[in-house]
Structure 1
Amino acid sequence: TKDALFTILHDLRPQDHFNIIGFSNRIKVWKDHLVSVTPDNIRDAKIYIHHMSPSGGTDINGALQRGIRLLNNYVAHNDIEDRSVSLIIFLTDGKPTVGETHTPKILNNTKEAARGQVCIFTIGIGNDVDFKLLEKLSLENCGLTRRVLEENDAGSQLIGFYDEIRTPLLSDIRIDYPPGFVEQTTRTLFPNYFNGSEIIIAGKLVDKKIDQLHVEVTASNSKKFVVLKTDVPVEPREVGNDVTGSLRPKGEGKDPNHMERLWSYLTMKDLLSSWLQGRDEQEKEQLRRKAQALAVNSHFLTPFTSMRLKKPALQTEQLEKSTGMAAATGPETVMQSLRGTSERPGPALKKPHNPRIKVSKTSADGDPHFVVDFPLSKLTVCFNIDGQPGDILRLVSDHVHAGVTVNGELIGAPAPPNGHKKQRTYFRTITILVNKPKRSYLEITPNRVILDGGDRLVLPCNHSVVVGSRGLEVTVSANANVTVTIQDTIAFVILIHLYKKPAPYQRNHLGFYISNSKGLSSHCHGLLGQFLNQDAQLAEMPVQPSKNLISLSPSLPDLSETSEAVLKVKGHQVPVVWKQRKIYNGEEEIDCWFTRNAARLLDGEYRDYLATHPFDSETAFGLGLSGVH
């Protein structure tokens, strides 16, 4: 639970206000009011969370009532921004055992206190939680629910969660169509629309021959009332729109009735939500039967259906053909797919191939050592940055134009004996936020890769695999590297450094290499990104070294480590010295011009390259994204 709280704290924005409430057999509030997001407050909050300890019991009702009162008091006594929203992120790993424990009473108390003004997002951790209660709390209070598996790291499973809910754009959204034009539509009323979320409605056209459909959208934006009217072109269908037709895919894994399955999926979600919120048993039974029939016909595994395997098969294709659906009252876990029964749900898993990785010089690896290649000038420049453990460095910032952000979090280690440094720092985590064409989050550590974009995958780094999803391809070469390819125009290679018996000053860590930067824009920034579209020149060549030195590179004259020059890049004049540096786990040795003072080479100051959280896409150079996430 603490890891989950730390993850959410990392995602808070400077304009947010927050508080922390602990609840066991009694309610403990960190502050008596909401506080602003500042480095000091975040630090103090982490310390408070670190010292929190359970004392038995779970007072869910009392915690929610206290949280709602805190929010209402803040709204009543402060000038609130137009697009702000009051929300509670409610994390628990238990069932109500203290105070009010009757589920209907907890739901009624919460709904009456919130009055539609507070959205409640619930997170259930582990197997002992009352997940049905959490689902109902969220459904009745304009929120959503997420389940965190006990055996997995809670923090990693909640990466990007706050990003999804922190920026409300519209409320009370209603979508209307002309009478008699559509039927069997799914949900058309929505309490909120958050930046980065989506609203999907499916239905059936009454007249299949119309070429356009009129749509009216009404919503509220704080004190404003928004009305959008438009005519949407209707593309001709190659297959019929009959919902009762066959839903099995045909051909090579393609589903000719994909829209019908989408309609079934959304209708199923609406039925499940209504069933969960229902209070009348007769009404709930009707909803259950309707959902059950739709699930069996559509081949969805739901709480009302079960999957039946006729017999074990030797081949995967035989196994898929032997599956069937049956009506049931369980199980609890919901697994659904919009694809056909013979197609894998989620991102496409492919057989790993022998990766032929193009080694790039432009990189950040080791302690960390930075290397920048200027191919037009046939020059390579290198520099070091000594950060602090826990710092998150902006490596590539091109969120607005290319939709890509890369950050790296540092981990500390003692310096080797007799070294000139007091400590070493390495990259413990590389995080990549991709915003085009669809938003995806990627977190890479020496042990695993977490891909969160539509579907969530956790890939161990000790197995080779290729995963493709939403214009993103991730290739894991077991215990060696991870290659991330975006739209075939951007590629990053993350090198995995593992130690079987690490010395005290060694840590498992990562190296970051830019393999393909064609898709990055001229506005790209970051510690590495700012150099990708730049040229560099040597203002003066070094004096020819003594005759006993030999040439080490055809592109450079004979040089020694005492050879000095002045580098001109981006309007800066930086003293440099020639040296050799090993990259890519020591497999390649390069010649580079090393600057001892990286500050003279970079735009701004070191603090300008510090991200507030792993997926922070804003920059200090006016190139980030401040209103869209």
Structure 2
Amino acid sequence: MDGTMGLRALLCVYLASLLVLQAMPTQGSPTGRPKVSKAVDGVTIRSLKVNCKVTSRFAHYVITSQVVNNADEAKEVAFEVEIPKTAFISDFAITSGGNAFIGDIKDKVSAWKQYRKAAVSGENAGLVRASGRTMEQFTIHLNIGPRSKATFRLTYEEVLKRKLKQYEIVIKVKPKQLVHHFEIDVDIFEPQGISKLDAQASFLPKDLESQLIKKSFSGKQGHVLFHPTVGQQQSCPTCSTSMLNGDFKVTYDVNRDQLCDLLVANNHFAHFFAPQNLTNLKKNVVFVIDISTSMEGQKLKQTKEALLKILGDMRPGDYFDLVLFGSEVQSWKGSLVPASPANLRAAQEFVRRFYLAGATNLNGGLLRGIEILNQAHGSLPELSNHASVLIMLTDGEPTEGVTDHSQILKNVRNAIRGKFPLYNLGFGHNLDFNFLEVMSMENNGRAQRIHEDHDATQQLQGFYDQVANPLLVDVELLYPQDTVSAVTQHRHKQYYEGSEIMVAGRIADNKLGSFKADVLAHGGQEFKTTCLVDEEEMKRLLQERGHMLENHVERLWAYLTIQELLAKRMKLEGKEKADVTAKALQMSLAYQFVTPLTSMTIRGMTDEDGLEPIIDKPPEDSLPLEMLGHRKTFVLSALQPSPTRSSSNFQQLPDQVTGVDTDPHFLIHVPQKEDTLCFNINEEPGVVLSLVQDPDTGFSVNGQLIGNKASGPGQQEGTYFGRLGIANPATGFQLEVTPHNITLNPGSGGPVFSWRDQASLRQHEVVVTINRRRNLVVSVEDGGTFEVVLHRVWKGSAVHQDFLGFYVLDSHRMSARTHGLLGQFFHPLDYKVSDPHPGSNPTKTDATMVVKSHQLTVTRGLQKDYSKDPRHGAEVTCWFVHNNGAGLIDGVYTDYIVPDIF
């Protein structure tokens, strides 16, 4: 059976939080200690890798896994990934049998037109939409053909929000099998500098945690690596089961020595505001609590426990009151009272003694709480300088008094009039959470669901902790109107200790010089500051982080804008809602995010009705997986490649490749070791290097270096490949490739193509396929297959210019004498790595490598492979060989300098 045709896929988008790859069914434990990963029912998980790259709070995750079916019959596996609810999926691909099936994001209306037949029949068209507390679960089941393998790659992105003085990255892990190569690699770059970094795994004993999790930070960079061996994954010395089952968390914070934190790249800015050393404001807080009969039992008990703890944490100088609503509304005091020890003891006794009372007069309870805060502002002028907060908890729908949602929204809005925020807590799932969200958004607050579970008390207290210490009120971040556009929310009613206000926007062309940020707020005293952009520092950051910085700042702005538009549309109707929806959809498509307005289809996968699967973002109130019934089965077909790539890109696409890209990083995939080596070549612009040279056929690939447009004093100039020459003298074939043009046989006046063309050319045994604005593929009969990737940079960049990457997709037909900086690695390579230890850079691991009779010090690092995804690339972990590859390459790097590209 063909490896691709044998893949029967079942796509379930039942979103919750977990990283799982399992063969089914599970096999019992053997005796003896396994030395390698154990096949379950004939299926081996060869690798499971999570790469997370954070740049200024913007996190980019790539989860890649490969499974191998060693059996003589098809076997089923399940690939499950739990991602944060706040994240957007941006890419998904399955590679099998030399074919790649890549997700195509389109608007949801268009995607669902394909499902008319399924909708009529009442089936769910392969979609399962369920979510957990803070995570969403993506699941796909595949039957892998006999003696074949499949690789999954999921990419998602999110902006990290600061809570309780730290940012948190959560990766849920549950492979359900020992994995030959398991790795979680987190790389953090924060221009302010990292002040603390920690990593914990809930499934590891503390003594093992310190041994197996490598974490370090210095200056702007932080690094966490979790790379357990098969033996270290075992739940016991003789077990074939894995102990990896739980949360892997990375937490960090940044230095805040400077009040201003402005980041500018690619005509976009990000402004992070979290001032330190401010005096806590005194607060006025009213708790409005649902005591209807639906709160009976555990919910009432946990609510009382949380209130007792919260009251115990009130600070001297705060004022408070309690309002209860069932069929009737009652308040403890009817006015704000100081948080004195006597009042707090009396309030706690009131909480212990109150009982349930009838229906749910939510409107009456809220208006009473608002009235108490408004009266205090009017009758007690000294309280007007406090930060006022209204917190409401309910578990159901309004059933007494005013019950119409729109009327309640209007009443609350008119009563508060923007004077203080309203925070709504929805207990359980028997309520309209959207209603609570809209009410909070209209009144400068937010809503949070409290899940009915054993830790509901901690959930309630955890929410209160986030708003317990206001530092500033009426915060405004202002920017010159003629300089910026499309600015995200920049007015906030309150700023709380341990949080952060984040604003992003676009800067008009040639306006960077007049860009600034003015911050106004009220606190213990008037707060005012102006922030300017340090252009030299921005250039230095671009040098350090390169295109990733430019890309992440823009995508951070896009992410925040889409999230705000999606929230805004919830409270609009008619044309206003349609306009906001259209804008959010346009941005979701432009930045390739799976949002509530878009869906990802996977061409080449169909069920028995000929329908393609769809990846959706589930709604907040979606049903649990077990309640969704029948699941659909899909088949991957090699005859139906994804439309996002030319079919020529899909044939014989290897899982990892050898190539060279960026400035310039050489990636050498060593299949015998299932690992990758990498090295740089540091040379001057204009130098031509031999990449591939086959003396038996004369086939060659040479590349000429170009430099940055500009570099600062004392800075090493980055170099890239700006011109490639591919030649096959036996047929008179020559191809010159630059970031601007592709020229066939340039010496004889051959045709010239631009990167805007889509074309396929054939000359004797060579086929060239140009894929518009993306890449080109050169296939040589009885030779190799090569890819050139085009990298476009921001036109206004003062530093970088467009450049090329070069990859070897297939080299097994090249002669044994093939050489060059890449060509010498077409042949088997043996080496040994030992003694991993912290290196001179505390964020990276060094080790000793013995290769070609040389003993080298190498460093574990990350590079990007753009062969499959020219836009975003895929993270590749490699051993970096220093000093221009000395000891790894034959001879020295200057041996590979040639006069010209042909």
When normalised by structure 2's length, the TM-score is 0.31
Pick the structure with more strand per residue.
2
Q: Which has the larger radius of gyration?
A: 2
Greater relative contact order (Cα < 8 A, sep 6+): 2
